[in-house]
Structure formats: structure tokens, C-alpha cells
Structure 1
Amino acid sequence: MQEKDGMGEISPPPPAKRQPPTVRLRRLAAELRHLRQEAGLSQAEVTEKTDVNLATLHRIETAKAKPQLRTLNALLDAYGVTGNRRADLITLQKEAKQRGWLHGFEADLPSPYSAYIGLEAEARQAINYESLFIPGLLQTEDYARAVVRGVRPTATDDEVETRITARMQRQALLESDTPLRLWAILDQAALSRTVGNDAVMRDQLVHLSRQAQRPHITVQVIPFSAGAHPGMPGSFIVLKFDADSPDAIHIDSMAGGLFLEKETDIQQYNHICEHLRAIALSPTDTAALIASLREDY
């Protein structure tokens, strides 16, 4: 039922609230932008090759609009995309409005175009809670190799090295002129469990200490003395983007990587982050604890 204003006229309905882009749509936008750049084409050159309107192309590449299938095919033709990669992008287009996403971690997942890696590269900040491991962005190569071999005992040498290469490449996000801001919260168990051997752990803790001194990286440890806490059910990452783009929550599991996008889930995990930061040691006390544990190795 429409409302009448004070003059007896029918007031127009309020404008519909624009839905924020889903993880799928953001990934599709990022991949299309990367494909254009790989092809060495400007947006203007793409419009000449495809007849796709410049404003439309900009909206597609910034996840403000879902491309129609014929538009997507025209762009993929211009970029020379074929085979499985093309099929994957068409699937993304068809499912772009769906929220929540369980993406299986197959052997070839760690590529520049995998779901999580692509989103992480678009984020401006990551809040990473880990209960059992050092966060991937802060791992040394030897520690990462020991983790992958331990977690995936049936993986081939090639599969292990593919994952290690991807993990090391991800760390470039911390080295750019506008680096990713990382807030890492670790349970003390992640520091106390020997991964690899004593030498691997000693080098890892030295590296963690050095990284924690950088202005865009904050490290806090939740000591054993804190008792039970909300992070104990498992690790997660909150990715934060520009102000007009909602956060994305990523949870790793043996079944795959689960993206959470509901507003209630985002609020819950941000609240958990606040609680974990409050009960964790300060960055200064964390540095002292890491130095103490390092002596054990």
C-alpha cells in the first residue's frame, strides 16, 4: 500500500537498496580486468574490438554490473580465452548472484586465478586468525613446505611445490608500494607446535618477529592462560575491501574453502575479531613471548 504525503498525493516508493556484489561477481570482475591487462589492451581498445560500451565495461570490471552472456563471450573472444578457463568464467557469470561459496581445493588450486588468492589480491586489509599454523602470508618457505607435506601426505612433489610457489607469491602483497594491511592473531599453540624441525621453527619465529615490526603488519598471540576463547572452533580470514564493498569471510576446511557473505555472518566474525584482539597479548608482549619461545628451539 502506497503512502500519501501531507498534500494528499501518493508518495513514490523508496528506491530499492542496491545489493553489494557477491564473491563470485567480484572474482569475475577481477579476472576480466586481469585478462584485459594480460592481453595488453586498454578499456578503449576493448570497446573498439567488441562494441561493448566503455561505461558498461567499467561497471563490469568493478563488479558493479553482471555481464550478459553475449557480452562475456565477446570479451573472452577478445582476450583469447578458451578451454577450461573460459568454461569456469562462464560458470561464474551464471552463478554471479549466488551468495556463499564452497570452493574445492584441488591440486591445481594455487594459481593466480584461484578464488581466494584473487580476492586477497583485491583486499586492502586482512584479519587472519590461526589456531594451529603461522598465517600463510608470514610463513617461511621451509615452514610452508613442512605444513603442506604434513597436512597433505598423499600430495606429489609437484603438487607440494605448486602450493609453496603460490604461497610465496602471495606474500608479495606485503611488499608492494601500497601493501596489504595484515592483522594476524594466533593461538599460542601455533607457536608451540614443532613443524618441520627445530631449525625450521627457529627460523620461522625469527621471520615472524621481523615481520611483526613492519608498520602494516600487526601480530598478536592469545596465550594458553587465556583459556577457552571464540577462535577455538577454527581458523578464518576477514577480507576488507573499499568502503562501499562488504567484507568477505573465508574459512578453510578439508572439504574446501567456504566464503561467507551474509551480513549477519560478517557482523559475527568481526565481533569475534574484536574479542580475540581484546584477550590477546599486546603486540609488545607478543614480541616478548615469541622471543622466549624462540629460545626453546
Structure 2
Amino acid sequence: MELSARRQPPTVRLRRLAAELRGLRTGAGLTREEVSEQTGINPATLYRIETAKVRPQRRTLMAMLDTYGVTDEDKRSELIALSRQAAQLGWLQAYESELPELYTTYISFEAEARSVRNYESLFIPGLLQTEGYAREVIKAGLPLATEDDIRARVEARLQRQESLRKKDPIRLWAILDEAVLLRQVGGGEIMAEQLQALVVSAAQPHITLQVIPFTSGAHAGMPGSFVVMDFPDPADPALVYIDSMAGDLFLEREADVRRFAMTFEHLQATALDPSSSIKAIEAQIHKIKEKGGAG
């Protein structure tokens, strides 16, 4: 019994389906090897299903439910619907071969999030980057990338921002270290445009911006940037995402999520209030223009 060969980034619904199927198997007292013997599904394939690496075809899912003794029609229909809804974002398919696997995973989760809490120590958050700023940070971060690679990443980053413009937009709370404002990525003109875009974005009711000034001294965010994502359905636990030179990392253990959520609360208390933060951003725009960095 085979799966669709196409691997997809794990969406929120695919993650929930995987958790449900793991629970049903363990509840039935079966190992993956035993399920494989009874269904003909390869143990490696079962592992990939249970870790949200792939979405099972309908006949594969039905065989698993039969083996686990799931006879309740409402439960079966719920899981079948969950599998059907677990497909990735349509627009993301065009970039599958050009974007790293973990980045497409992040995009899939972000698109389904109810709220995103993002602390950044070095960059403007991706959801708020202008095209010019995005191009410069991507070029700098990937010095060996081709122009096509850069173009694909810029396009994907801008497409992500549709989550802020849809009918029921993501609620974004972004906290920036002051260093993010002072580093002139791409020069004065690009940076002034980017900072002005931040001011405009922060005027929207679903976006909150705060800045941690240098005068605050040492703070809880100094070890590095992170994102905490919450989802609309209580059945979907929150996720923490960390992007570093060592690689991308997703954390979903309750203790880890709670630790980063508390860190974010500390940063909220340390940062300037939203109104003062916008004034700090506008002051930096003024300094750039005074120096002749922007028209």
C-alpha cells in the first residue's frame, strides 16, 4: 500500500492528523511493525505519516483506521476530512524546488496561525519586510545564491505577507532590538523606506510593534531571535520556531513553548511601549534623511 510520492511541508492539520493516528495506534496496543504486517504498509511509511512528513492516501488511511478498530463513523469522517484539508498552500508549490524544506514548513505553519509573536535581534521580521530590504538581507545571507534563487526567496517572502492582508489576518506582535533599526541594510534609501513601512504597518489594529532600546541594557532576548505561533483550534498546540546558523528548529513540547512565551512577556515589559517605539522608529528615519541617505 503506497502513499502519494510527493512530500509536503507539515501543515497544522497534517500535524494534528499525525498525532491522532499515533494515539490511535498506541491505544490499540500496536507497534508500527505489527501495523505493517496487518496492512502491508511499510514501517518507514507509517513513521513518515505519524511524524507529519507525508499525507496518507485515502485507502491507506482507511486501512489504518480499520486496523485500529475505529468504527465510529463521525470519528472516521473527521479524520478523513482532516487528511483532505491537510494540503499545503497552493502558491507554495511553485517554490518547492527552490526553498529549503524547513523554510516551506515554517511558511505553511505561519499561514495557518492565529497569532505570531516574533522577537528579532538583527532583522526586520519577514512579514514586515519591504521588497528592497528583503532582497538585500537575502543576498547578504546567501552569498553564493544565484539571481534566480534570490528572486524566488524574495517573491516567497512577499507572498507570505498576504497573511496580514486577508479577511481574518494574523495578529502579529513584533519586538525588535534597537540594533535592527540602526543597521542600514542596503543603504539609507532602502532603510528609510523600510522603517517608514514599519510605521504604516503598526497603524493597523492587528499589528503591534515594540522596540528594545540600547539603554535597557542586557535583556532576555539577547541569546537570539524566535517566533511563537498560536493556532485557531485548541487541538493544535502552539509552536516555537528558531532560525540560526546551526539550522532551523521547531519546538512543540509544552515546557519549551511556555519558556519562550514567558521570555516574550519579559521582552514586552523591557521594550518601549508601542507609541514610544513608533517615535523611536520615526526618529531613526529622520536621522537617515538628515544624513542624506534618503530623499
| TM-score, length of structure 1 as denominator length | 0.68
Deviations 1:134-193 (A, max 9, x none): 000000000000000111111111111110011000000000000000000000000000
How far apart are the structure 2 equivalents of 1:279 and 1:112?
A: 31
Is this contact kept in 2: 1:184–1:218, CA < 8 A? yes
Deviations 1:175-219 (A, max 9, x none): 000000000000000000010010000000100000001000000
What amino acid sits opposite 1:181 in the alignment?
Answer: R
Q: Distance in 2 between matches of 1:192 and 1:251?
A: 23
Match 1:208 to one of 195, 198, 206: 198
AA aligned opposite 1:260: L
Distance 1:210 1:111 in 2: 32
Distance 1:61 1:144, change over 3 A: farther
Pair 1:261-2:252 in alignment: yes
How far 1:24 sits from its partner (Å)?
A: 4.8
1:114 aligned counterpart, secondary structure: helix
Give runs of aligned pairs for residues 1-297 of structure 1, distance below 5 A: 24=10, 26=12, 28=14, 55-56=75-76, 58-59=78-79, 61-62=81-82, 108-109=98-99, 114-242=104-232, 243-297=234-288
One-letter amino acid of the structure 1 residue matched with residue 214 of structure 2: F
Aligned length: 222
Q: CA RMSD in A?
A: 3.1
For 2:196 and 2:189, the matched residues in 1 are separated by: 11
Query: Using a 3 Å threshold, how does the CA distance of structure 1 residues 146 and 113 change in structure 2: closer, same or farther?
Result: closer
Q: Which amino acid aligns with 2:241?
A: H
* Cα separation, 2, equivalents of 1:257 and 1:60: 31
> Alpha-carbon deviation of 1:122?
1.1
Which residue type is aligned with residue 163 of structure 1?
R
Between the aligned partners of 1:155 and 1:279, the Cα distance in structure 2 is 37
**1:30 deviation in Å?**
8.8
Residue 131 of structure 1 contacts residue 232 of structure 1 at CA under 8 Å; is this kept in 2?
yes
Q: SS of the residue aligned with 2:210? A: strand
Residues 228/113 of structure 1: CA separation in 2 closer, same or farther (3 Å cut): closer
SS of the residue corresponding to residue 231 of structure 1 reads coil
Provide the C-alpha distance between the structure 2 equivalents of 1:61 and 1:224, rounded to a whole number of angstroms. 50
Kept in 2: contact 1:27–1:115 (CA 8 A): no
Contact 1:110–1:166 at 8 Å: present in 2 too?
Answer: no
Unpaired runs of 5+ in structure 1?
Answer: 1-22, 33-45, 68-74, 80-84, 86-105
Amino acid at match of 2:115: Q
Asked whether the equivalents of residues 252 and 258 of structure 1 are also in contact (C-alpha less than 8 Å), the reply is: yes
Which structure 2 segments of 5+ residues have no match?
1-8, 19-56, 64-72, 88-92, 289-295
Report if the CA contact (8 A) 1:191-1:293 is conserved: yes
For residues 234-275 of structure 1, what are the alpha-carbon distances to aligned partners after superposition, in whole Å with 9 as ceiling and x for unaligned?
100000013332110000012321001111111100100100
Q: Percent identity?
A: 46
Q: Aligned partner of 2:132: which letter?
A: D
CA distance in 2, matches of 1:31, 1:199: 47
C-alpha contact 2:11 2:109 (8 A) present in aligned 1: no
TM normalised by structure 2 equals: 0.68
Secondary structure of 1:161's aligned partner: helix
- Tell me the distance in 1 between the aligned counterparts of 2:58 and 2:194: 49
Query: Could you say if the C-alpha distance between residues 250 and 29 of structure 1 is closer, same or farther in structure 2, counting changes exceeding 3 Å?
Result: closer
